[in-house]
Structure 1
Amino acid sequence: MDYCRLGDSSLVVSKVCMGTMTFGRQNTLEEGVEQLNLAFDSYGINFIDTAEMYPVPTQPETAGTTDKIVAEFLKGRKREDVILATKVAGTSSRINWLRGEKEEMCKLNKEQIEYSIEASLERLGTSYIDLLQIHWPDRYVGGLFGQPDYDIDSENDPGVDSSFEEQLGALNEAVKAGKVKYVGLSNETPFGVMAMCQLAKQYPDLYPKIVSIQNSYSLIVRKDYEAGLTEVCSPRNMNVGLLAYSPLAGGILSGKYAKEKVDEKARLNLFPGFMERYKDSQVEKAVAEYANIAEKHGLTPTQLALAWCYHRSNVASSIIGATSIVQLEENLKAFDVVLEDEVMKEIEDVYKIYTDPTKAYKNK
């Protein structure tokens, strides 16, 4: 395993991060702990990512269960040996079960951020969080979770959103209190990253510096990040480390959904409508082309997709997930695969044709 410093932080993270969003629905407590033990003890992982709303799809009956499984894993570890990341949910009119008995819709105001941090610390059984991320923006943004791209006519009243100042101010208090070490963003845009980084630069005593961004990034979801965020987050500019989530695009890039008989327990079949954007016909065509490249060079589709993401120069760490030990080991072993120049060229040739294959879905 290789390691890197995450953005401007002092955190030295493994280049592969253990995602946990299936723990509590698709994986039991015992299975989750087993996966984490294997990753840490046999493969050199030191980095875990969770969220207050996990497992997904989120629901009131299971929200927070993932954290309790992570807490069980932490009981057998020295806390300083684990870099623990979690997330506070952004605005949502339909999620009203994360803020206690008040049943308030999720927002990123000061009161709710403070509540979220305290609840996460309690569930995780720890006194501090290494990296706290804003799960998604507290404002209208285009393209989020497969939605249409930004449309000026769809802008809502900015006065109803929690300001960047309020969000960063609440996070800064948590940092000063020792409850959070560093802060990051997720599903964010170039505008959001620049605005928050500029506030921290201008008022360093009031606002913490953003050190990471957790966005979807894979062979079929590249353009949104590479077209703007790569420059913004570059070490010579804002120095914000990319934590690439869904490097297998919900499992689509593994090729398992292209088989004649697909496991009914596979995530996209188990939860109809979940990550629907990955089932578009253009996505299927792109996935087939990448699978052909993998077969030509003696690789599995999973090895091709993960090796590509693991070793991208703009990726600090790739967040992987699995529902079985067999899947997890294939994912982790793929880190040792280095793609040859010929393979990389063939990938770029396919990318030129299928630059943004989820676009057909997003703009329906």
Structure 2
Amino acid sequence: MNYRTLGSTGIQVSPLCFGTMSFGAEADEETSAAMYRRVRDLGINFFDSANVYGGGASEEILGRLIANERDDVVITSKAFYPTSGDINAQGLSRRHIMQAAEASLKRLGTDRIDFYFVHAFDDSTPIEQTLRALDDLQRQGTILYPAVSNWAAWQIATALGLSARETLARFELIEPMYNLAKRQAEVEILPLAQAENMGVITYSPLGGGLLTGKYRAGQPPAAGRLVDNARYADRYGLESDRTTAERFTAFADDAGFSPVSLAVAWAMGHPGVTAPIVGARNPAQLEGSLAALGIDMTAELRAEISALSPTPAPATDRTETIVGNWT
């Protein structure tokens, strides 16, 4: 296993992060344990969770699995989304963050969370309040590093500036969506992470199943996440998404790769990505993603694959080369 340094933290993590969203939901405890053992045997030491996954069961199962090797693994969790009917059991207020972190520690059966994510942006709570709560958690040792998911680049950059000005613990890890059909992170989030030496773990490398080979021209699947789940159907509902999937599947077939493995390897191959997050409902489904570790994702191969989907527009309309002193 070729481990990677996570941003400026000095922590070494595997190039794949195992996501535990299925634990306690699609995967029961026995199935979850089998997947955990499989990835640990491969040398994967990085695990992503959240307080809302499986209604809290994900953290509970992960906690039991890591109990005898806590110091050998790096774990994350998250706070933001509602965890009960209490109106205040959500968001990024100091009150909720403190309560959510304490509850996650109990479910995980540990004394600290390595990376603690704010799971989404809270426009009703000042960023300074959220950052100070995370800083206090770090000073207590409850969390080791603050992290951020599903924020825009300008929101992350604002937080980094505030952290520097107020001498608060800064975000060290970003978790954006990123796959061949959804490349918006390339415009500002990944460049920001590279400029600030931040770690990045990306979710949905398979596009909710879009890039697995199930969605071929003229052969719509009868079932699957994009068929059965309205949220995913909407997220990948553009004609361009299906076109990308068809082109990518054909390319993978011609090149002799599994679409699943190649999609994960493509995400893993971006220089700004520390590790894509892979998950599964069962061990058999997991194998395709794990096989990405064996693909040599050269710059040339990655460029060929990237050409199969629309390149996102740049962050500025000024794309011409500036020569001389003019505007």
TM above 0.5, one fold? yes
Distance 1:333 1:105 in 2: 39
The alignment's C-alpha RMSD in Å is 2.0
Distance 1:64 1:277, change over 3 A: same
- What corresponds to 1:124 in structure 2? 108
Query: 2:277 & 2:307 partners in 1: Cα distance?
Result: 26
- More deviation, 113-122/334-343: 334-343
Paired residues, what number? 312
List aligned pairs for 1:247-262, cutoff 5 A.
Answer: 247-258=205-216, 260=219, 262=221
- Which whole-Å deviations, capped at 9, do the CAs of 1:183-212 have from their partners, x for residues lacking one? 1100111111111111222222xx112111
- SS of match in other structure, 1:184: strand
Paired position in structure 2 for 1:218? 179
Uncovered stretches (5+) of structure 1, i.e. residues with no partner: 56-62, 140-160, 358-364
1:60 aligns to what?
Answer: none
Distance verdict in 2 for CA 1:212–1:285, change over 3 Å: same
Choose which of 64, 67, 70 in structure 1 pairs with 2:59.
Answer: 67
Q: Which residue of 2 aligns with 1:167?
A: 130
Q: Return closer, same or farther for 1:273/1:231 CA change in 2, 3 Å cut-off.
A: closer
- Identity value in percent: 29
Deviation of 1:294 (Å): 0.9
Question: Do residues 35 (structure 1) and 35 (structure 2) align?
Answer: yes
| Letter matched to residue 73 of structure 2 | V
Judge conservation of contact 2:180–2:306 (CA < 8 Å) in 1.
no
TM-score by length of 2: 0.89
Superposed CA deviations along residues 211-237 of structure 1, whole A, max 9, x for unmatched, are 110000111111x21111222111xx3
Q: For 1:250 and 1:22, how far apart are their aligned partners in 2? A: 13
Please point out which of 193, 196, 206 is paired with 1:238. Answer: 196
Which residue does 1:322 correspond to in 2? 280
1:277 equivalenced with 2:235 (yes/no): yes
Unaligned runs of 5+ in 2: 314-327
Matches within 5 A, 1:1-364: 1-41=1-41, 43-55=42-54, 63-75=55-67, 77-89=68-80, 95=82, 98=83, 102-104=86-88, 106-139=90-123, 161-204=124-167, 207-222=168-183, 224-234=184-194, 237-258=195-216, 260=219, 262=221, 264=223, 266-340=224-298, 342-351=300-309, 354-355=310-311
Q: Distance in 1 between matches of 2:165 and 2:233?
A: 38
TM-score normalized with structure 1 length: 0.81
1:176 maps to a residue whose letter is: R
CA separation of 1:345 and 1:208: change in aligned 2, threshold 3 A? closer
Query: Residue in 2 aligned with 1:152?
Result: none
Q: CA deviation at 1:105?
A: 5.5
8 Å contact kept, 1:293–1:343: no
Kept in 2, the 8 Å contact 1:33–1:72? The answer is: no
- The residue identity in structure 2 corresponding to 1:318 is P
